[in-house]
Amino acid sequence: MTLSVKSDIFPAMIKRQTTINRIFKVSGIGLHSGKEVTLEFLPRREFGIAFVHDGHLIPARYDMVGDTRLSTQISRDGVSVSTIEHLMAALYFSGITNCLVYIDGPEVPILDGSAWEFYQGMWKAGVYEFPETGVYLKVLRPVEVHHNDSWVKVKPLNTLEITMSIEFRQPVGKQKKRVTDVENAFAIINSRTFVLQEEIEAIRKVGLARGGSLDNAVVIGNDEIMNPRGLRYKKELVNHKILDLIGDFYTSGYRILARVDANKTGHYLNNLLLKELFSDPRNYSIY
């Protein structure tokens, strides 16, 4: 397949299937495994995003999601790839619908804790557009899922609009953000993952966050942000929750058009919403 750059920047609205214009690599440490891993991105003619690990092709799809503890993990035939959500969000913002990602470890690297470095790599690689359509999923009926006081709801809308609410102890407190132009919300791409300082030890006891540091996560102390340079944005934490939701929703295989309202959501509920959405074909249309 011969590819050529179609645009110097990513289009705000993707009308057709796309892939990266050339191969590129990204390396870094896994947040939870603490191991060095390299990703190699290859153009793909077939529709969809898929990972290749240990010789197994694993579609980055909601029905391949297993473990959702502190990240989104996909698996197939006993082989898994975890922490895919930031990369999936970068692919969404880049407008990439088709791509093969070869990975030599069990976890996507955390890099700086946001989706920015992945996005930069895709921007440099460029975009190639195919004639095929079928990249959008339009929500036709309200769908919602709940767990205690957490919930995610989607309603029909001709674009994607997200309202996210979170609540943690101080110094975070309650945060709420509404994004009406998601396609161009670049502050979302650059917002980092975060953790409460008192939770770190417990997380590490169950074998997670072995690669976490102030270089790749915002750490919330008793009365201040522990990172020397503080936050990148006033609402960086709620921004990152929106980033996670976008990445998780992109495992639908499509660019979702809907009004999304979410409260204290996480990877589990994001995935559950997709399962509920796809449980009835009357809930959506593809075009």
Per-residue pLDDT of the chain (287 residues; tens, 9 = 90+): 434 334 344 445 678 999 999 999 999 998 878 889 999 999 999 999 999 999 999 999 999 999 998 899 999 999 999 999 999 999 999 999 999 999 999 999 999 999 999 999 999 999 999 999 999 999 999 999 999 999 999 999 999 999 999 999 988 899 999 999 998 898 999 999 999 988 887 887 777 767 888 999 999 998 899 999 999 999 999 999 999 999 999 999 999 999 999 999 999 999 999 999 999 999 999 99
Gap between the Cα atoms of 157 and 163, Å rounded: 13
Residue 138's φ and ψ, nearest 5 degrees, are: -100, 125
**Cis preceding-peptide flag for 171 (omega within 30 of 0):** yes
Give me the domains of the chain, ranges plus CATH numbers.
18-129 (3.30.230.20), 136-286 (3.30.1700.10)
Gap between the Cα atoms of 269 and 87, Å rounded: 19
pTM to 2 decimal places: 0.93
List the structure tokens of 222: 């008793």
**Residue 64 DSSP symbol:** G
- CA nearest to 32, candidates 82, 80, 95, 67: 82
In 3-state terms, what secondary structure has residue 218? strand
- 267 is annotated as an active-site residue: yes
- CA nearest to 12, candidates 188, 146, 182, 161: 182
Gap between the Cα atoms of 58 and 190, Å rounded: 27
Q: Which residues pair with 167 in a beta bridge?
A: 174
